[in-house]
Structure 1
Amino acid sequence: MNGLVDLAPLTRLMLMGAIVALGPIAWLWLRSRNASAAQRLSRLTLLTLFLTFDLVLFGAFTRLTDSGLGCPDWPGCYANATPAGAHEQISAAQATMPTGPVTHTKAWIEMVHRYLATGVGVLILTLAAGTWALRRRAALPVDPWWPTATLAWVCLQGAFGALTVTMKLFPAIVTLHLLGGMVLLALLCRQAVAYRQAETGARPAALSGGRFALLAATVAALWIQVALGGWVSTNYAVLACSQFPSCQGSWWPPMDFRQAFELWRPLGLTGAGEHVSFAALTAIHYVHRLAAYVVLGLLLALAWRLRDALPRQARLLGLLALWQLASGLSNVVLGWPLAAALAHTGGAAALVVVLTWALCESRPAGARAAGRSAALARGEGVPS
């Protein structure tokens, strides 16, 4: 582990991240010179959400091009801030294994991912610092603890990024790293919605108990499905089934669920050091596929039920459900092409954002009335 972690280039890596973040901050400042401080924070939140979405996609690109170990140490590349400084070491590794995990192209992909991640971290730090600085001087719709929690989470996400390298693409760690990126999207979306509601005066839509329960169930099912999808990708189980809707010419192919969901093990091996069987990879793939049917049904039902209360979110949910179906099928029948794999990851990330948006823009129909009754019972005044 000590040979894999060298903090010497950390300062230079942080400087690279600050340079990456400086561009969006300068662009936003120029476009928002006449805006209030709260409006600038609102726009910076949206911009950070957009760039975090891009970062999730680039992280998928890094994984799918097998570039996760392009620089086999952390945080630099052979203790250098850029692959240019590690030219000799990368060339030696590439000469030994021309198609191996370390090549000049893969090293640059991995380091660009780290630069972008550090840049997003700087933007989130700016959001947290700006929110706390304005807390006493302005009425902000976002509690400063939200951006603070986001900052803490991005630091945790950085730690998982380091473990991804030092633990040699350990499937559980890589899957948690993917889930961490999705949580960042949800946290930033929550803050963006709060700013929007304050600027427009919009109130959350009241949903009947059944519709709100369907929304909550869909959110929960999506997170489970994202975890299952990450498990498929990090175990390279996509091609275990190359047919649809059957798998290996059967509706219930041979599967080994015990091996498939042994979570704490190295890539390609069981905890006992044996190679993961093809039946286990089949089980990983097929469980994800079966869960996809459930999530697809929930998304389409939710889109239909929300068409009046939350029409924009409903339309997006319907479109994204079809997008995920098409991109998932393309991965199977076309042999996991890079474009389809990225499209599927992007669709999952977009669903996380849209469902978080819908959740923040809604409330159970009786929630406001219940709150008003409780306040009156305590003898408190309730504004009309």
Structure 2
Amino acid sequence: MGVETRESLGALSPWSPEFLAAIVESSDDAIIGKTLDGTIISWNRGAERIYGYRPEEAIGRNISILVPADHTDELAPIFERLRRGERVDHYQTVRVHKDGKRIAISVTISPVRDEQGKIIGASAVGRDITAQHEATKEALRMREEFISIAAHELRTPLATVFARLQLAERHLARPEIDMAAVLRDVVLVRQSADRLRLLVDRLLDISHISSGRLELEKVDTDVADLVRSVSSAFAETSGHAIRVNAPQPPEATRASLDAVRIDEVITNLLDNALKYGGPGDPIDVDVRADGAEVSFAVRDRGPGIAPDQRERIFQPFERGDTKAPGVGLGLHVAREIVLLHGGTIALEAPPDGGARFVVTLPKDGARS
């Protein structure tokens, strides 16, 4: 309700017919008066905004002009209930705009009585809930997509674990145990278990982020040393070469941060580089400190990321390549953790190809 409308209402006597009419006219909801045969007799600005008809175009016509062909059977039961004096509360249905566009509507319809209590018509208050419907449909789509991807991602390492444990069981049952074969099976089981753990951790993080329950426990940390440690462990597990460049002294790259969570950010970025980078090309990680900030960058030499995808890849369940493994949570979780630290994460496109993710964090953690 605008300032002019409020001033106009203030000039009217409270609860006078003019005052009540002004409230109806200024409502954002569609408020429509109609007779018991469906003839429209009043039409406010909200109705014009939602349905597109001007008052002179709607008044005198039947309410059926708003009902799509596949919903015409709704009207008779509604009018029958109104004639019995019943009210229809928050009825969700579909109506049609003047231009033919379908609109999701929540409508409450009440019988209108005269001074003797006789039902002479009805009033309908409708609210456009198209946006809510679309949001719900998108949430359901994302849920189904997530279930499908997560089921696939869980099934793959579980199948490996089961198969390798069967092989290890056979090897151990032989009179002469082939320890090299058993060790190979155990290593593959551990790697698959690591994949399962990473997926479960990301799912838990998404839950905590969504509910605002992801808390940080900051301590003074040497970021360069943390990057070296995480990169070394990741290289050993993945078998992929990782080069860390951190030329500055330890006192320059210290920052107040949650080392466990930043470990997760580094791991997610390395995992992303491993999936999308060239199989024989090393992953490069640079650590730099500048004044009150410290940053680290993870660079791969894969095909890079198209400009129109560079923001979307940070959304949950988005993947740059749908054929690549993963549920599309790593970059989203990484960004949320960085933002909680008061930092930034940026994607660069090096001239010679690949992708470079740069994380910048405040040294004192004051911006979080």
Bucket of the pairwise TM-score, normalised by the shorter protein: under 0.3
Higher relative contact order structure (alpha carbons within 8 Å, sequence separation ≥ 6): 1
Q: TM-score, normalized by length of structure 2?
A: 0.24
The structure whose residues are more often strand, as a share, is: 2
The structure whose residues are more often helix, as a share, is: 1
